[in-house]
Amino acid sequence: MNKILLVFGTRPEAIKMAPLVKKFKEESDLFDCKVCVTAQHREMLDQVLQWFEITPDYDLNIMRPGQDLYDITSNVMLGMRDVLKAYQPDAVLVHGDTTTSFATALAAFYQQIPVGHIEAGLRTYNLSAPFPEELNRQLTGRLAQWHFVPTSLNKNNLLSEGVDEKTIHLTGNTVIDALYWTTDKIKRQALSAGNVDANVISVLKDPSIQTILVTAHRRESFGHGFVNICEALSKLARMHEHVAIIYPVHPNPKVKEPVERYLKNIPNIHLIEPLNYQDFVYVMEAADIVLTDSGGVQEEAPSLGKPVLVMRDVTERVEALEGGTVELVGTDVTKIVDRINHYLTPENNFISKVNPYGDGKAVERIVSTFKAHFNN
């Protein structure tokens, strides 16, 4: 029996790894699959585990108030040392660009356990944007034996860095698998966004109201960037009485403080608590426009046919830019307002384009790679 350990610690990782966990579990005659969570983000991680019905086999539970990158890195490595010694997996799979992924890959390297990198090959080649994610994914890639890339552009990034083409596997992004699984479950069980404010639900269901879903939390926007975002949202809300802005506010004080200071008392701006994954998907599917700085949302929203405006100066999702499924607006007030106004105008209806991030079959391709590897 081939032993596979999947490791993740944050909500985005959990969302993207969950369908892979489920697929490996379906192949229990070939794989002994176990899950380790670091709980780099505790509460948001647990919500995803509950939704996807995943019970971790190992839980490092590292989250502490005021933790920094030093704490996360060292605590993940020390915790993984013990887990790897106890389980002795044949392969460790990590995801993307988190500190959990890098520290886990390094811990596995120290025990000479091969690493598979899910969502490999994303690059901005700017170590400050996003920080520390760009360094995390580059270092994880250096430690990996399997590189599962969402797009051909990601593959070309790795080839240009000298990675052996035989180790690179073009799969699509598992976030699309997770999105389709979730929308299907919502429809099958006739679920509504039960944890969302009733006023927000009524706004989403009112055909006379256009809705903008906002997510913003990135470090590089702290300070002046968030002030600009708030100014843009305030202008839009005052310009359009029949537009509702729905903003699940990240709990980080550097986000929450300026958002509440500038936007709290504007009637058609709905500042709500962070949403669990399924509620977020429900709201995203119902919204008309998505304004975000999230990498995952850049991948998900196009599959739901939404125009996506990205509040970052650079993005590693370059194929989305090239394919016209997202636009970069940065944190420039004028640009945000102008592009939102463009999509609020009836004659500029957005035409949905093919999502470059996959067809919902990424996990099948990843598991097939391991079947072939272990059979050989």
Residues with catalytic roles: 97, 119, 133, 217, 219, 250
> Which sign does the torsion angle of CA 248, 251, 252, 255 carry?
positive
- The whole-angstrom distance between residue 277's C-alpha and the CA centroid of its chain comes to 10
CB 131 within 8 A of CB 220: yes
Q: What are the φ and ψ backbone dihedral angles of 289, each rounded to 5 degrees?
A: -135, 145
> Which sign does the torsion angle of CA 108, 13, 78, 85 carry?
negative
Cβ atoms within 10 Å of 66's Cβ, excluding its own: 5
* Alpha-carbon gap, residue 339 to 344, rounded angstroms: 9
3-state secondary structure 50-112: HHCCCCCCEECCCCCCCCCHHHHHHHHHHHHHHHHHHHCCCEEEEECCCHHHHHHHHHHHHCC
DSSP 221: G
Token readout for 329 is: 């607006």
CB 272 within 8 A of CB 196: yes
With CA atoms as reference, report the closest residue to 105 among 7, 18, 31, 4: 7
CB 298 within 8 A of CB 119: no
* Alpha-carbon gap, residue 93 to 8, rounded angstroms: 9
* Alpha-carbon gap, residue 13 to 317, rounded angstroms: 17
| End-to-end CA, the chain | 14
CB 185 within 8 A of CB 191: yes
* Alpha-carbon gap, residue 126 to 189, rounded angstroms: 44
